[in-house]
Structure 1
Amino acid sequence: MSTPAFSFSHMGMFVADLARMRDFYTRVLGFTVTDTGELETQRGRLQFVFLSRDPKEHHQIVLATGKPDRLPFNPINQISFRMAEFSGLREMYRRVVDENVKELHPVSHGNALSVYFHDPEGNRLELFVDTPWYVKQPLRIPMDMKMDDEQLWAWAEAEAKKQPGFKPVEQWSAELARRMNSGQRP
């Protein structure tokens, strides 16, 4: 039996300081507020801010008041954003450095070059650009953003080639499509 097609659209998260989170996501990450409002819910009256970076998507992130005061840990592992090109990743890296965010980690995953950091409420964010390679995951190799683009891409390719399963991403995608179409899951 096949599964009907669907794709990821947006995510929502409860926040403690709506104004601070709105400021960070709009000023630092460049999201646009598409709507705001209040709604009565099972958790009480909540305020919402809808954010998007795509004019075809009303919202990609929803910020909602109502985050509990004490959580044993942050339940969000990460929120990841694909960059169109590496120059954009570099620019965002500089912007995040200028913001003095916590725990800034540029890394190579072999299949992506990423920059990890935390928003004001400790949610881990990832900005990344895809590479043309596949390697077995998980993989995390610290990356030096001081290298120029040519050096960094040469380093990333050399590191990826050392990893198990290295192959062009097109080959991996074709193999995965065959597996999915044959109903092989997991």
Structure 2
Amino acid sequence: MTIPFKSERIHHVAYRCKDAKTTVEWYERVMGFTYTNAFAEDYVPSTGAYDPYMHIFLDCGGGNVLAFFELPNQPEMGRDTQTPEWVQHLAFKVADFDMLKAAKSHIEAEGVDVLGPTYHGIFRSIYFFDPNGHRLELACDIGTDDQYAELKSVAPIMLEEWDRTKKAPKHADWLHIEPGGE
């Protein structure tokens, strides 16, 4: 199959927020993101519907942008109660495990509860929530080239088995055994 285009990167990912100003301040203070720009409209450009909004954009680094919409005329925001909290999240990469530990200390000092670090075989991560209830993850890669190659080679087999059984297929045994752990 030939696709007539190629994506260069994610332009931005957009979520809803409870309060645009609080969200900008939190992401600058806690995450170190840079507030770059905003759009405020009374009418939605893509639909023409009257629905005043503030659309804010934060630079996450590496050309990645996280955006939020504040929608004051919509019902109070909630979450998908049919999906566990841990499923829907945004994960941001940090350089290494030392930086991940430093991030955890900083975020906790800002009064945010942090879970982890959690071991995932090829990366370690921490988890926490932003003031809008969105789950965030910071992760650092720790895998070797051989481990990434092994996981890539078994990925099609795992997907086919999952598709047939809807149960976790066997994969690399080393993936859940933390070095120095049991």
User: Which residue in 1 is equivalent to 2:78?
Assistant: 71
Measured at CA, do residues 2 and 86 of structure 1 come closer, stay the same or move farther in structure 2, by a change above 3 Å?
farther
Distance 1:125 1:28 in 2: 12
User: Which residue in 1 is equivalent to 2:115?
Assistant: 104
Deviations 1:24-73 (A, max 9, x none): 1111101101112312213612112111033x63x611111116415354
Distance 2:10 2:77 in 1: 29
Superposition map of 1:1-186 within 5 A: 1-3=1-3, 5-6=6-7, 7-39=9-41, 40-41=43-44, 42=49, 44-54=51-61, 57=63, 60-66=65-71, 68-71=75-78, 73=80, 77-102=88-113, 104-133=115-144, 168-173=147-152, 175=153
Does the 8 Å contact 2:16/2:69 carry over to 1?
yes
User: Which is worse superposed, 97-106 or 84-93?
Assistant: 97-106
Does the 8 Å contact 1:93/1:115 carry over to 2?
yes
Q: C-alpha root-mean-square deviation of aligned residues, in Å?
A: 2.9
TM-score (norm 2): 0.67
User: Percent sequence identity over matched residues?
Assistant: 24
Give the deviation of 1:16 after TM superposition: 1.1
TM-score (norm 1): 0.65
Give the deviation of 1:133 after TM superposition: 5.0
Measured at CA, do residues 101 and 47 of structure 1 come closer, stay the same or move farther in structure 2, by a change above 3 Å?
same
Does the 8 Å contact 1:110/1:133 carry over to 2?
no
Distance 1:176 1:10 in 2: 31
Does the 8 Å contact 1:113/1:128 carry over to 2?
yes
Deviations 1:152-184 (A, max 9, x none): xxxxxxxxxxxxxxx6223434x379x6xxxxx
Letter in 2 for 1:170: A
Does the 8 Å contact 2:108/2:114 carry over to 1?
no
Does the 8 Å contact 1:107/1:114 carry over to 2?
yes
Letter in 1 for 2:23: M
Distance 2:147 2:95 in 1: 19
User: Which residue in 1 is equivalent to 2:177?
Assistant: none
SS of the equivalent of 1:60 reads: strand
Deviations 1:52-102 (A, max 9, x none): 033x63x61111111641535467710100112222212211111112213
Letter in 2 for 1:123: H
Q: How many residues align?
A: 144
User: Which residue in 2 is equivalent to 1:138?
Assistant: none
SS of the equivalent of 2:113 reads: coil
